[in-house]
Amino acid sequence: MATKKTTKKKRADVEASMTFESASAELEVILQQIDSGELGLEEAMTLHRRGQVLLAHCRSLLDRADQELKEVALDDLDPADEAG
C-alpha cells in the first residue's frame, strides 16, 4: 500500500509534468477502465489512487486559474485607472 510520502511524491511528479488537459484526459481513460468492470480489484484500486492524484492536480490547476482571473478582475477595478 502506498504511504503518504509516496503519494505526495506522485502528486509532485504529476504537478511538475502535466497540463490540465493531459491530466484530465488520463483521468477519463482511468474512469473508462474502471467502469468497464474488467479489472481485478488490485488493478482497479491502483487506478483509483492514480485518479485521485490526477483529480487533485486538476483541481489545483483550476483553483490557480480562478485566483488569477479574480486578480485580473480586481486589477480592472483599480480606482487609479478610473481617475485618469
The structural domains of the chain, with segments of one domain joined by +, span: 4-77
pTM: 0.71
> Which segments of 4-77 does DSSP mark as H helices, in order?
4-17, 20-36, 41-76
For 30-78, the pLDDT digits (tens) are: 999 999 999 999 999 999 999 999 999 999 999 999 999 988 877 777 6
Q: Residue 7 to residues 4, 14, 34, 50, 81: CA-CA distances in angstroms?
A: 5, 11, 20, 9, 46
- Nearest to residue 53, comparing CAs of 1, 14, 4? 14
> Average pLDDT, stretch 14-27?
88
Q: Supply the CATH classification number for the domain 4-77.
A: 1.10.287
